[in-house]
Each structure stands twice: as structure tokens, then as C-alpha cells.
Amino acid sequence: MTEFLRIENLVKSFGATTVVKSVNLSFNAGEFVTLLGPSGCGKTTILRMVAGFERPTSGSITVEGRDITDLAPNQRQIGMVFQAYALFPNMNVGDNIGFGLKIAGKSRDEIKSRTEEMLKLIGLPGYEKRYPYEMSGGQQQRVALARAIAPRPRMLLLDEPLSALDAKIRVSLREEIRAIQRELGITTLFVTHDQEEALSISDRVVVMNAGNVEQVGEPFEIYNKPATRFVAQFVGTLNTIEATVASTADNTVSIDGQIVKLSALPAGASNGNPIALTLRPEVMTVGTRPDADITLNGTVEEAHFLGSVIRLSISLGRTVLNIDTFNDQRTAPPARGDHVKISIASKDLLILGA
């Protein structure tokens, strides 16, 4: 793959507060990459520096080998879609989409042709005479996307563009954005705090925390092989079990008085030491299964019906595990107070550092 964007040693400080701390990233041409993290982690600041709206305190940004760190936003050939749409209320849809083309000095016929092309691309042909106030939030965001890509930018930046929309529209629109991105083959950098959004549409995900990059990887890797405790806890739901090493001789630990044998213990572990084990809700089973080599006894505290999934809260004593099981309309889930066995494959347990 051909490298398109490179960020090197990027730092951004506001006064005494450093919000982006020596970040190094590279993105391939045509790739859809998401910056994922909680509010205040620095993801939007990175996006704004790539766009040229913020100047880095230090570091560099290059596009196709050209240093753009000090270029003005209008010199970068980058399209940006904002969280708040930012459509011009006094302009109709056609004029909004054609605005960048008009500024670039394109002819009236070219603007008209390109606007019609964009309206077809976003599924709104014939809407060019409407005004933003006559359209839904989802439609306005489609227009904002069309306006950003109409001038044929080299790169597309999206700053939490779906956060103001309701859940169903968000799901539909994110799929449309991904389909349009693939059709155009445009390198795209997407910012969100929504884990499901990031995992569902990205080629790669950059997980950020407190101005630092915690992990970069494909969605499957980020979810199933988190590199740090923060990634494991932030991306998806995670159970954390505080155990105690029972015997290093046979790799056993005690979980609320129940002895469990692990495939291995962390280096340097000794008898009596505390150890934190983590696992996802979906890797556990209530009852027995052939591949499980760990069995725990627990008591059902709650059963939360979530549609296709039922989330059980099961107490082992001090530890409460959340377990996801598919909804089977022929079988009622365990009831509160039921004593159950939990089956786990030791290979699904994660032992994470900081």
C-alpha cells in the first residue's frame, strides 16, 4: 500500500496543558481510519491540525511526501465535515454543495453538473432547491458530506459527524458514508467516541487516551487483542476479576475462594500475589460446554433483556460477572437467585498490564 499521510512527533499545547503528546501515525491511500477515544483525549485536536485549523506546537504533517504543517486550510485540498453540519442557512442545497466549487472559480455549468452528481451520490436527487431548515438532520449531514467532497479533495476529515443524530439514522448514515468513501477511494480520517461506530466502518482504529496513542490496529485486533488495560476497558464491555495466585507450581489462582487453573501465570508471579484477569461477556457460557476448562459457581443477580442478547449479572461473591447470551425465545433465561455454573476457556482470559 502507498503511504498517504504521515504524522510525526506531533505535539499540541494550550498554555501549560499538553493535549496531544508526541503522536506518530501513518495512513495509507484510500484507507478509512478512525480516531477513537473519550472526550478530551486529543482526537479532534489532531484532526484540526491535519485540516490546518490548529497549528502544532511541534512535529510535522506530510501528505504524499509534501510537508503541509504550515499551509493554510485552503491550500491543503482537504474536505472536512463538522459535527454541527455548518451549512449556510441562507443558501439552498445546490448552492451549499457548489460553494467550494464557486470559490475555486469553476464555471456555472461545471458547478451545476457536479452538484447534480453529488446529490445522486448522497441519495438526494432533486433536492437542490431546498433550504437546510426544510430538511432532517440526516439529510443535512448528507449535504454537508456532499459539499466537502464536491471539490474533489485529496483527503476527507469527519469530526463526529453523526453524534447529533438518533441511533437508527446514525447506523444508516455511517454505512452510507463508508459506501461513498469506498466508491470514491478517498483517504478518510474519522473522529468518534462511539466504539461500535469505529469498529463497524474502519479499516483501522487508533485508540487514544489523554493525548497518547494506546493502540493502532484493525477492528478485530483492537477488540480481541487489546494491548493495554485502557483499550480493553474502553472498547466494548470488559469483566475484571481480582484473583490471588494460589500456587505457581500448577498455575492456579483463587477467585472468591474458588480454585482455577490457568494455562500460564505472568512472569514474576508468586504465591499470594494479586492478579487481575479480564474477559469479554460473550466468551462465557452459563452451563457446560466441551471446550471450557474452567468452571465457576455463581448466583444470578439480574437478567437484562436487550433484544437479541440477554445480559446476565452473576455473582461469585465479591466479583460480579456480566455474561451475554443470545435470546432464545424457546428457553427462558435464568431467574434472579438461581445458582448456575459458568464455563470459560482459559485461552479467553486476558492478563493485562497498565
- Under CATH, which number does the domain 239-348 receive? 2.40.50.100
**pTM, rounded to two decimals:** 0.86
- DSSP of 90-133: TS-HHHHHHHHHHHTT--HHHHHHHHHHHHHHTT-TT-TT--GG
3-234: in CATH 3.40.50.300: yes
Contact 122/143 with Cβ under 8 angstroms? yes
Give which of 121, 136, 124, 128 is closest to 97, Cα–Cα: 128
pLDDT of residue 162: 86
Give the C-alpha separation, 60 to 14, whole Å: 18
**What's the per-residue H, E or C state across 294-343?**
EEEEEEEEEEEECCCEEEEEEECCCCEEEEEEECCCCCCCCCCCCEEEEE
Confidence grade of residue 113 (pLDDT, cut at 50, 70, 90): very high
Q: How many CB atoms lie within 10 A of CB 120?
A: 12
Domain boundaries, the chain: 3-234, 239-348
pLDDT tens for 284-293 read: 999 988 889 9
- DSSP of 29-58: TT-EEEEE--TTSSHHHHHHHHHTSS--SE
pLDDT of residue 354: 47
Confidence grade of residue 353 (pLDDT, cut at 50, 70, 90): low
Give the C-alpha separation, 36 to 191, whole Å: 6
pLDDT of residue 351: 79
Amino acid in position 348? D
Q: How many CB atoms lie within 10 A of CB 261?
A: 13
Does residue 315 surpass a pLDDT of 70?
A: yes
Strand partners, 114: none
pLDDT tens for 215-251 read: 999 999 999 889 888 998 899 888 988 899 999 999 9
Tell me which residue has cell 480516531: 35
Q: What is the mean pLDDT of residues 5-10?
A: 97
Within a 13 Å sphere around the CA of 90, how many CA atoms are in the beta-carbon half?
0
Three cell numbers, residue 177: 458514508
Give the C-alpha separation, 257 to 259, whole Å: 6
Give which of 314, 308, 306 is closest to 335, Cα–Cα: 314
Give the C-alpha separation, 310 to 322, whole Å: 10
Does residue 308 surpass a pLDDT of 50?
A: yes
